[in-house]
């Protein structure tokens, strides 16, 4: 009578078994996690346990809050140089061109016709 040798398992067989076990593990964790969290929340509430008592350190944010880009105190905005057909104002050259300026230029008009004269300032 011949004796059987040890069962030969290939690497592919072991990887397949590992993948199946991982799926089973993930399913068990997913099923039990919600129940465990609910139990923990109930006990934390019942006993008045704080985050600090659980070892969670509340700390200040590590990133600083950047100030918004605004006109610094004591510094005025640029004086308007152009006035549009509906009394809109534009300082000229600062930032994107307003829609009314683009419309004037696309119509072939000269933007200088809309320049505010010194005596016209309100």
The string of pLDDT tens digits covering residues 66-84 is: 766 665 665 667 788 888 8
Mean pLDDT along residues 94-112: 85
* CB-based contact 79:90 (threshold 8 Å): no
What pTM was estimated for this model as a whole?
0.35
- The answer, yes or no, to whether residue 13 has pLDDT greater than 70, is yes
Asked if residue 47 lies in contact with residue 59, where contact means CB atoms within 8 angstroms, the answer is no
| pLDDT of the residue at 115 | 86
pLDDT of 120 above 60: no
């Amino acid at each position: 009578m011949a004796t059987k040798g040890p069962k030969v398992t290939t690497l592919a067989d072991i990887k397949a078994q590992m993948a199946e076990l991982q799926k089973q593990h993930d399913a068990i964790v997913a099923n039990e996690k919600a129940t465990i969290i609910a139990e923990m929340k109930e006990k934390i509430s019942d006993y008045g346990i704080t985050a600090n008592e659980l070892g969670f350190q509340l700390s200040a944010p590590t990133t600083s809050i950047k100030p918004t880009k605004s006109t610094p105190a004591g510094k005025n905005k640029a004086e308007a140089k152009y006035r549009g057909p509906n009394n809109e104002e534009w300082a000229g050259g600062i930032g994107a061109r307003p829609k009314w300026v683009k419309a004037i230029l696309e119509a072939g008009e000269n933007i200088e016709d809309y320049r505010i004269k010194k005596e016209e300032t309100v």
